[in-house]
Amino acid sequence: MATLKLGEDFLLGTATSSVQIEGGDTNNTWYKWCEEGHIKDFSSAYTACDHWNRVEEDTEILKSLGVQTHRLSLEWSRIQPAPGEFSTEATKHYREELELLLANNIQPLVTLHHFSEPLWFQELGGWLKPENSEYYVEYARYVVENFGDLVAEWVTFNEPNVFVNFGYLIGIFPPGEKGLRKYFRVSAEIIKTHIRVYRLIHKIRSHRGFQGETRVGTAMHHRVFDGLTFVGKRTAELTDYFFHDLFLEGMIRGKFKFPLGLAGGKDEPGHYADFLGINYYTRNIVEFVLNPFCYFHRCRFDSNMDKSDLGWDIYPKGIYRVCKKYFLKYQLPIYITENGISDQADKKRAKFIVDHLAYLVKAIGENIPVQRYYHWTVMDNFEWLEGEAGFFGLYHCDFRTQRRTPRESAKIYARICKDKEHVLPTL
């Protein structure tokens, strides 16, 4: 029987985001979005997992899982509570959290922007006003100056394609804007800002003589878009272009593909990614419709495939397809920055993990340099529009008592983290 062998250099980890687990913050856009009643179960990010007060407890969970690396985000609204003002309390808190990870031999991968922003940034017009990007660059500079000695690896933006689509085209994420022109303007602005921050992080860490190889990239949401008919296949190609290619070409090569050049983007040819960050969950079946909502949110799935609690196809082969496609194009090392399943009963999660790792082993066997796997996520958290009804955790979190309880899949993942081996399914 075949055995999954990941190799000692392959790092296994977990991923979280600040607003989804920390709780207690009223200064971010998602707190306001919850208060306005946009969440399906009317829960709030203000509750979440109370991680802000339970860092030591949750780090013990990471230690018990045996992860070698952990991806976390910093909450911009906590660090910069007002324009030009930085919080010494938040700085101290995050520094202690990062030091605790390192003390437990857990290498941090830090995300600067994971969907949430300070309320004051939104009130100033957010990304629709190009001059506001200076605030984000100022925040990034402060963070790297204060934590760059502890952190060598950075994600500038988590899923910018989802953030812009949902926040500025479809309007189901804050700030709730809708419009194709807004979508292209903000896409161009975020790509330009990524390029600036990429250069900034390298410059600061080099000038300050911080130890460790500096690596900067994005965590891009990758969905496999498949069409079943001739029109569907052409639609899939077009969707892929607007959802993936526009962002990847800009954030990796500095190219502002059509129509971003008309929306304020100007080519800055260069190299702006040190790894490919891939968030992969599922695939969509697409056919031509005029409503973009149907391509990204109210999607079609394959009736013959097993599903997550959210109705998403469980399609492990997709992670191999994505890795192969984009490595051949960009020739960069790959981090799987997110991969997970909503599975409250925990009947499918262990197999989900092993099946996806198996396809990563297949990719590695074809000389595709997949170096990391970050499982989403450690514990059930505030899952955006789903609220408290998205069960992605290796641990169950009771949001009322804040008790963390390991699921069986947590024990299996811990064994994989320890042994870097597992019995493989037949692909």
Query: CA triplet 214, 114, 335: central angle to 5 degrees?
Result: 45
Is 159 a residue of the active site?
yes
Provide the 8-state DSSP code for 47. Answer: T
Alpha carbon distance 45, 31 (integer Å): 6
Do residues 30 and 19 touch, judged by C-beta distance below 8 A? yes
88-103 and 55-65 are packed helices; what angle lies between their axes, rounded to 10 degrees?
Answer: 20
Query: CA triplet 177, 47, 311: central angle to 5 degrees?
Result: 60
**Tokens in use for 26?**
């009223």
**Tokens in use for 366?**
């074809």
Alpha carbon distance 261, 264 (integer Å): 6
Of residues 22, 159, 177, 189, which has the active-site annotation?
159
Provide the 8-state DSSP code for 260. Answer: G
H helix runs in 13-75, sequence order:
18-21, 29-35, 55-65
Query: What residues act catalytically?
Result: 159
